[in-house]
Amino acid sequence: MSSIAARTYLTPEEYLAFERKALTKHEYLSGEIVAMSGASFAHNFITGDIFGELRTQLQGGKCKAATSDMRVKVSETGSYFYSDFLVFF
């Protein structure tokens, strides 16, 4: 006999309240909270190198680069992600 785990879908507001209290990062996709997994040693070095280059290239301009600690909302879908890095102005 198989069992199907019950899924709980949250509103964006419920997700944000949950995430503010959480000790680990979670992304929000179509009403579901998805736990973030840890990155590999190689992944950290690659994203670090890319971030460093981006920051250098953007220096003195209007745009800024940030790392994965910034949560990003995708307005079109209402989803929230922690990208490896992002550029904004």
Express as a percent the part of the chain with pLDDT over 90: 70
Evaluate whether 72 touches 81 at the Cβ level (below 8 Å). Answer: yes
- Tens of pLDDT, residue by residue over 14-50, are 999 999 999 999 999 989 999 988 889 999 999 999 9
The CA-based dihedral angle spanning residues 38, 44, 50, 56, taken in that order and rounded to the nearest 10 degrees: 110
Q: What is the pTM of this model?
A: 0.74
Confidence of residue 7 (pLDDT cuts 50, 70, 90): low
**Domains annotated on the chain, with CATH:** 12-88 (3.90.1570.10)
Evaluate whether 11 touches 33 at the Cβ level (below 8 Å). Answer: no
